[in-house]
Amino acid sequence: MSVLVFLATVAGATVHAQALPGAADSAQTPLLAQGVQASQFDLMAQAEPDFFADQAPLQVLSVTRLAQPLADTPGAVTVLDRQTLRRSGARNITEALRLVPGYMVAGLNGANLVAAYHAPVDEYGVRSLILVDGRSLYSPSYFGGGFRALNAVPIEEVERIEVLRGSNSTAFGAHALFGVINVVTRHTLDTLGQAVSFTAGGGGVADVYARIGWGAPGLAQRLSVNRSADHGLRDLRDSHERVQLLWRADLKPRPATELMFQAGLSELDAGHGFASNPDDPQRDVALRKSHALLQWRHADGPEATWQATLSWDEERLSDPSQTDSIGFSFSPTPDIADLIYHEQRLALELEHTRVISPSWRWVLGGGVRDDSSFAPVLFTTTERVGVRDWRVFGHAEWAPAPRWLLNAGLFAGYRSDTGSYLAPRLMLNHELAPGHTLRAGLTRAERPPLLFERSSDVRAYINRTPVGTVHRPNPALRNEVLQAQELGYHASLAEGRVNLDVRLYQERMGDFIQFRSGVPRQYVNAPGFTLRGLEYQLIWRPSERTELRLNQSFNQMRWHQAGPIGREPPARLSTVAWFQRLDDGWDVALMLHEHNGMSWRPPASAVGSVTRVDARLARAFDWGGARAEAALVVQSLGGDIDEFVPNRLSNRRVYASLRLEF
């Protein structure tokens, strides 16, 4: 670095001046005084920052490190940054997804909040790919559970959430049919010091978060512990308590190499079931998870990067069997009757990004994922049921002419039980004028069935004698296929104060994997549906203290099978959010979400129009050297509302939080 050279020169010159006796003798001041002055010069020289670098400086933010501008993304992207997450008052990430156009957030109960994009066909979030620092969250053994895992990520540790709306299997893999929720957690260097946060209020809300971060650029670490708890919805047994321990370390052994380690342990106890449903009785379930992640990133010059990710997940769900007087149970062996599944995942992925020229960049990657599950109740075997998934993916970005950008990609996977699946994508972006970009594209995504969907084999027993099959496997289950066409428009207007993103789409789902009730129950391929719609996102910053967000999503869904199926999105789904910073550290946020009628389940369970208002008032202040923020949040200001099915009301909830950072 040029400054080091400069300092060395000065230091060397100083020493030289001292060392040459001739020079010293002819000096008019004595040598001793000169020596004293010389060290002052050193200090002064060191105080001189380098205004002019003589050598070409190292390009730190090289093309491979820079994120793609929103105008160039091959699809519609919504970014929720840390400030927005905080101001929304959300206690977990899923709640914050209400701010993303097209997302419907509701839960079968208070402990299972999910967010579905466009089609409310997913109570467990199987058709959204959820990534946290590159680690995919979903549980193949049972019902997916991606959002349950997402809700475990402490919102205080999130740097940014990038939601890629629309099919994105090409870049990310299966389960990205309806988009990708990409969570980036905060780097350890950005969370040095201690922080603690308390949240308490109505509905049994009692959250605590505490973290300590330490280190320097070569090695920095963070350790955090958090507890989240509430009583769920008022009339249900759905309270939950989660305790979690998380650790992260970031190393930089060389300027071009970065390593990240993560590990975590969590335990969730949640209520489940309904008083009125003997098939789903009220009880408590326990979910224990642990995970570890290692990510290596190496910049092979400014135009190429290598990234490798190794991740390990372990999950154990216990659900006490309801053995009644006649000895009924789902398990042949009562001693492990409580265990639903104990699954493990090991995944390795390698990715290489290369910028050939300013108009030509490609990404190539591959990986393998090994899922295995010990779940005698679910699969009627004491063997581990496993599946291995191999994948290769690549995409290329090519700017054939100025203001044109073509993005072509392919994801190809092969699963050991279901065979291959393919997800190609083609997207063209054209900048009509500075700040105005048109997008047009086609994607195809394919989702192989979950282990549970394909191979579940649940039997019923009375006094250890099998009496029937409750859930039958379907080895002939085909992959779901989603084909989407979209037109988009992105604009950045008024010096960047106005940001508009519009998406017009047709999404056609074929071979939809559907749960067919009856005895025995089974997953089958159903004809699917066609969904057409228009959605837009407008972010307007009229002043430096005000931010307004307006999202709307208009959808029309047509099932390809006869009969009233329900499971339809609202014709109109809107969010209006107003964020205002006031004097003296005050901050206010008001969020209105509304939709007209929709149904998560068959038509009899349809819910009518819903308007929900959430509000947050906060004040940032200094408290004895610590930075503090106190906030008051009201969710569902207008009172109880039917968000999921009738008579399962989401309640108004008021809670206060205090956050301190030292």
Partner 1 sequence: MGLLAGFGLLGLGQLASADLWAQGVAAGAAPAATAASPAPLWVVMSERNAAQDEALRVLRSGAALPLQAGLWSDWAQWEQLASGSALMLLGARALAAWAQRQPPALPAMPWVAGLLSQAAWAGLPAALRGRTHVAWLDQPLPRVAELLRLALPDRSRVGVLFGPATRAWREPLQEALRARQWQMQAAQLHESDGPAELFAALSRVLDGSEVLLLLPDAQVVQPSQFQNLLIAAYRQRLPVVSFSQAHVRAGATLGLYTTPAQAALQMLDLLRLAQQPGARARQQWANQFELDINEPVARSLNLQLPSVAMLAGALLQRASAAPEGSAR
Nearest residue to 7 (alpha-carbon basis) of 43, 59, 60, 40: 43
Sign, CA torsion 538/444/136/367: negative
Alpha-carbon distance of 601 to 609, in angstroms, equals: 16
**Cβ proximity to partner 1, 422 vs 500, nearer residue:** 500
Tell me how far apart the terminal alpha carbons of the chain are, to the nearest angstrom: 34
For residue 7, the minimal CB distance to partner 1 (Å) is: 8
User: What is the CB-side half-sphere exposure of residue 398 using CA atoms within 13 A?
Assistant: 7
**Cβ proximity to partner 1, 14 vs 170, nearer residue:** 14
> Cα dist. 43→20, 46, 51, 122 in Å?
22, 5, 17, 65
For residue 610, the minimal CB distance to partner 1 (Å) is: 33
For residue 72, the minimal CB distance to partner 1 (Å) is: 8
**Cβ proximity to partner 1, 33 vs 604, nearer residue:** 33
Tokens of 326: 């006649």
From the CB of residue 5, how many other CB atoms can be counted at a distance below 10 Å? 13
Alpha-carbon distance of 600 to 603, in angstroms, equals: 8
Q: Contacts from 292-295 at CB under 8 Å and sequence distance 24+?
A: 292/261, 292/262, 292/263, 292/264, 293/133, 293/134, 293/135, 293/260, 293/261, 293/262, 293/263, 294/259, 294/260, 294/261, 294/262, 295/133, 295/134, 295/259, 295/260
Alpha-carbon distance of 598 to 614, in angstroms, equals: 21
Provide the 8-state DSSP code for 5.
Answer: H
For residue 156, the minimal CB distance to partner 1 (Å) is: 11
**Cβ proximity to partner 1, 255 vs 475, nearer residue:** 255
- The b-or-e profile of 563-585 (16+ CB within 10 A means b, else e) is eebbbbbbebbbbbbebebeeee
**Cβ proximity to partner 1, 416 vs 546, nearer residue:** 546
**Cβ proximity to partner 1, 44 vs 392, nearer residue:** 44
For residue 242, the minimal CB distance to partner 1 (Å) is: 26
For residue 218, the minimal CB distance to partner 1 (Å) is: 8
Q: What is the largest CA-CA distance in the chain?
A: 111
From the CB of residue 545, how many other CB atoms can be counted at a distance below 10 Å? 12
For residue 86, the minimal CB distance to partner 1 (Å) is: 10
**Cβ proximity to partner 1, 151 vs 499, nearer residue:** 499
**Cβ proximity to partner 1, 40 vs 556, nearer residue:** 40
For residue 585, the minimal CB distance to partner 1 (Å) is: 10
**Cβ proximity to partner 1, 332 vs 435, nearer residue:** 435
Tokens of 401: 């002419």
Angle at 151 between CA 150 and CA 154, to 5 degrees: 100
**Cβ proximity to partner 1, 17 vs 410, nearer residue:** 17
For residue 506, the minimal CB distance to partner 1 (Å) is: 28
For residue 33, the minimal CB distance to partner 1 (Å) is: 8
